[in-house]
């Protein structure tokens, strides 16, 4: 978003920095909510509503920014009407009557010879000199009753009570009550005025804040909220413009005075840092590694193993088919021996074993037995290819004339 805007669609304005109880319609505004004032909407204009300081049903009245006064109900007093007044403290009962404090009132128990709300009526007459403190007695009702005219400073049916108008604490905001001759006077503490100290003096009335500063009244004091570029109690000190040197780089917007004497850079898109000096690099998204296709690998290995097995079976079958042909060839090569009755056909077997060939040359007359004729049936073919027909009978020519057969042992 551009400086001063925020939100998903950059359509929400950013209020002025430091704005407390306000909103905005465009960037950097501070529109105060109801009951708040000041540049940053931090001054309470409706203290009574926001804080409700008055107690015991008292009525609160706003008298300025952050100030108020409470109008107490009968029977209560204090700045916030927090103190309950005892009506008996003023000794309302005359002629020695006993006072009993009640809610919003009192009751007098009169001694013998007196009656009335305050025990003000007496059966005495002026002959009995009922008036005290120099009071003058006047008869009434043809001498059946009387009344006392009291001198200044005294009151009561018999002028028995000294007048003290400060007992009810009439002075507001902790003002002090005293008498100046015959007049009751309230001495107000600093920051308040009025007959009963009910008015908060507006210390901003003389416009102490300079250079467009906003004044906020306090009790016997004030404070100034200065515009950017100014400082001091009365905003009369011009601060150095930190943005004059152009500290923000890459098109950043500089704002000074928002935070005391410092400056703030609002960076455009693609840059960051205190002075917008750092480019923003986008971090590539790293995708998670793809899962290994173990099922496909297992199937591939299985197919290869099955193919190898088929090849081995085919080779075994091929070898088995070739062996009978070799055996037949061996037997055919042995036929030459059989023709001359050297090896009887009934004694010829393909056993792949070495056998001794003997020539029985006249069993009755000769004991000659050549025994070194080793014959491997599988190598008969090789024997036939080494010489002529006569070579075959070399070892047995002594017995050829007698035609004695060879015997296998």
Domain harbouring 95, CATH code: 2.10.25.10
Distance CA 332, CA 173 (A): 146
Q: Kindly indicate the confidence band of residue 128, based on its pLDDT and cuts at 50, 70 and 90.
A: confident
Assigned domain for 281 exists: no
What is the chain's mean pLDDT, rounded?
76
Assigned domain for 180 exists: yes
CB 82 within 8 A of CB 56: yes
Distance CA 400, CA 375 (A): 19
Distance CA 393, CA 404 (A): 12
Please tell me the predicted confidence (pLDDT) of residue 210. Answer: 92
Assigned domain for 342 exists: yes
Check pLDDT > 70 for residue 249. yes
Distance CA 155, CA 124 (A): 18
Assigned domain for 214 exists: no
Q: Which of 180, 200, 220 is the last residue of a domain?
A: 200
Assigned domain for 144 exists: yes
Query: Which tens digit of pLDDT belongs to each residue from 29-71?
Result: 898 877 777 788 877 777 787 788 899 889 988 877 777 889 9
Strand intervals (E) in 156-201: 161-162, 176-180, 183-187, 192-193, 199-200
Range of the domain at 404: 333-408
Q: Which of 200, 227, 243 is the last residue of a domain?
A: 200
Please tell me the predicted confidence (pLDDT) of residue 402. Answer: 46
Check pLDDT > 50 for residue 376. no
Q: Which of 168, 200, 232 is the last residue of a domain?
A: 200
> Which residues 6+ apart lie within 8 Å of 343 measured at CB?
334, 337, 357, 405, 406, 408
Query: Which tens digit of pLDDT belongs to each residue from 194-246?
Result: 988 999 999 999 999 999 999 999 988 999 999 877 888 999 988 777 787 88
Distance CA 310, CA 224 (A): 100
In angstroms, the first-to-last Cα distance of the chain is: 112
Please tell me the predicted confidence (pLDDT) of residue 292. Answer: 58
Strand intervals (E) in 188-272: 192-193, 199-200, 214-218, 221-225, 230-231, 237-238, 253-256, 263-266, 271-272
Longest dimension (CA), the chain: 210
Q: Kindly indicate the confidence band of residue 286, based on its pLDDT and cuts at 50, 70 and 90.
A: low
Number of structural domains the chain divides into? 2
> Which residues 6+ apart lie within 8 Å of 95 measured at CB?
110, 111, 113, 114, 119, 120, 122, 157, 158, 160
Torsion of CA 385, 386, 390, 394, to 10 degrees: -130
Mean pLDDT of 95-116: 83
Distance CA 156, CA 97 (A): 12
Check pLDDT > 90 for residue 335. no
Assigned domain for 244 exists: no
CB atoms within 10 A of CB 394: 8
Mean pLDDT of 171-194: 86
Task: Output the CA torsion sign for 189, 194, 196, 198.
Answer: negative
Query: Which tens digit of pLDDT belongs to each residue from 294-328?
Result: 788 888 888 899 899 989 998 888 888 886 555 55
Assigned domain for 218 exists: no
Assigned domain for 48 exists: no
Location of structure tokens 């008298």: 63
Q: Kindly indicate the confidence band of residue 168, based on its pLDDT and cuts at 50, 70 and 90.
A: confident
């Amino acid at each position: 978003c551009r400086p001063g805007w925020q939100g998903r669609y950059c359509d929400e304005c950013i209020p002025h920095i430091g704005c407390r109880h306000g909103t905005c319609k465009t960037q950097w505004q501070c529109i105060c909510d109801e009951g708040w004032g000041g540049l940053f909407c931090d001054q309470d204009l409706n203290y009574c509503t926001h804080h409700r300081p008055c107690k015991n049903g008292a009525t609160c009245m706003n008298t300025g920014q952050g100030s108020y006064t409470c109008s107490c109900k009968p029977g209560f007093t204090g700045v916030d009407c927090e103190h309950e007044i005892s009506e008996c403290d003023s000794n309302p009962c005359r002629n020695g009557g006993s006072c009993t404090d009640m809610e919003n009132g009192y009751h007098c128990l009169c001694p013998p010879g007196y009656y009335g709300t305050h025990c003000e009526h007496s059966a005495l007459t002026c002959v009995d000199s009922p008036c005290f403190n120099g009071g003058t007695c006047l008869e009434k009702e043809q001498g059946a009753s009387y009344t006392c005219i009291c001198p200044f400073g005294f009151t009561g049916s018999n002028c028995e009570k000294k007048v003290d108008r400060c007992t009810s604490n009439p002075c507001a905001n902790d003002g002090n009550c005293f008498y100046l001759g015959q007049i009751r006077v309230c001495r107000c503490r600093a920051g308040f005025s009025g007959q009963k100290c009910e008015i908060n003096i507006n210390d901003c009335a003389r416009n102490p804040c300079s250079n467009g500063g906003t004044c906020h009244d306090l009790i016997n004091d004030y404070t100034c909220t200065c515009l950017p570029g100014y400082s001091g109690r009365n905003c009369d000190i011009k601060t150095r413009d930190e943005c004059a040197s152009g500290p923000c780089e890459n098109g950043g917007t500089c704002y000074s005075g928002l935070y005391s004497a410092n400056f703030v850079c609002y960076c455009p898109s693609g840059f960051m840092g205190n002075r917008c000096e750092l480019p923003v690099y986008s971090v590539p998204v790293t995708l998670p590694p793809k899962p290994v296709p173990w099922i496909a690998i297992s199937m591939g290995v299985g197919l290869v193993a099955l193919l190898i097995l088929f090849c081995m079976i085919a080779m075994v079958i091929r070898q088995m088919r070739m062996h009978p042909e070799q055996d037949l060839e061996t037997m055919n090569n042995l036929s030459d021996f059989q023709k001359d009755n050297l090896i009887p056909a009934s004694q010829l077997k393909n056993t792949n074993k070495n056998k001794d060939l003997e020539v029985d040359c006249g069993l009755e007359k000769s004991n000659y037995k050549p025994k070194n004729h080793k014959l491997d049936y599988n190598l008969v073919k090789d024997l036939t290819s080494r010489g002529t027909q006569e070579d075959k009978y070399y070892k047995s020519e002594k017995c050829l004339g007698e035609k004695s057969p060879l015997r296998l042992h």
